[in-house]
């Protein structure tokens, strides 16, 4: 198995949050939901979540969501709107809805082994037959810092080159 750099390798001096955003072709969306749910990244747990109105797509979206295992309870409580729950600061979340994949590491997330698991998951999902990656980008910022694009590219070959 080829070793890859973690997707956020170039984002590490920036932040505090690191985000990976990718779009697949609209025709790939159904396959994406299936492929995304098929493999749970190492260190993560699947978080069932009801379909909900989505600001990004301006309609109700179904989600496939994974959260790092130490934050699963906090995340579920936040979904339930439990006001006694404190904010989640350091976390890793993967979210798929329609044609979008988002990976977010709050305050850099929980460590490089998580980023490697995310990258392995990403490659497995994006190389599933029927899924066409259109564009992707690595963004860093948040908590008062401007979001800046660290790198952007198109297609799976471009992404593979970036993390090789």
Determine what percent of the chain falls in helix, strand and coil, rounding each to the nearest 5: 30, 35, 35
Alpha carbon distance 69, 83 (integer Å): 21
Cβ 32 to Zn ion shortest distance, Å: 12
Pick the binder of Zn ion from 15, 36, 75, 97 (CB under 5 A). Answer: 97
Stretch that binds Zn ion, among 56-64, 66-74, 83-91, 140-148 (CB under 5 A): 56-64
Of 49, 46, 72, residue with least CA distance to 61: 49
| Least gap, CB of 52 to Zn ion (angstroms) | 9
Map residues 108-147 to x or -, x wherever contact with Zn ion holds by CB under 5 A: ----------------------------------------
Residue 30 binds to Zn ion (criterion: CB under 5 A) = no
The whole-angstrom separation of Cα 128 and Cα 113 is 23
Question: Cβ(33)–Cβ(62) under 8 Å?
Answer: yes
Rounded CA gap, 22 and 116, in Å?
A: 17
Q: How far is the CB of 116 from Zn ion (least distance, A)?
A: 27
Q: Interface with Zn ion by CB under 5 A: which residues?
A: 54, 56-57, 61, 97
């Amino acid at each position: 198995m080829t070793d890859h750099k973690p997707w956020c390798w170039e984002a590490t001096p920036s932040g505090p949050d690191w985000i990976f955003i990718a779009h697949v072709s609209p025709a790939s969306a159904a396959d994406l939901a299936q492929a995304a749910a098929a493999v749970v990244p190492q260190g993560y747990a699947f978080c069932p979540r009801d379909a909900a109105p989505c600001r990004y797509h301006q309609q109700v979206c179904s989600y496939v969501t994974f959260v790092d295992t130490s934050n699963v309870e906090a995340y579920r409580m936040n979904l339930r709107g439990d006001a006694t729950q404190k904010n989640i600061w350091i976390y890793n979340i993967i979210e798929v809805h329609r044609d979008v994949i988002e990976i977010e590491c709050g305050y850099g997330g929980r460590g490089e082994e998580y980023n490697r698991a995310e990258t392995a998951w990403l490659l497995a999902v994006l190389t599933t037959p029927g899924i066409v990656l259109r564009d992707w980008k690595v963004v860093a910022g948040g908590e008062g810092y401007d979001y800046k694009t660290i790198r952007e590219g198109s297609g799976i070959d471009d992404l593979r080159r970036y993390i090789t």
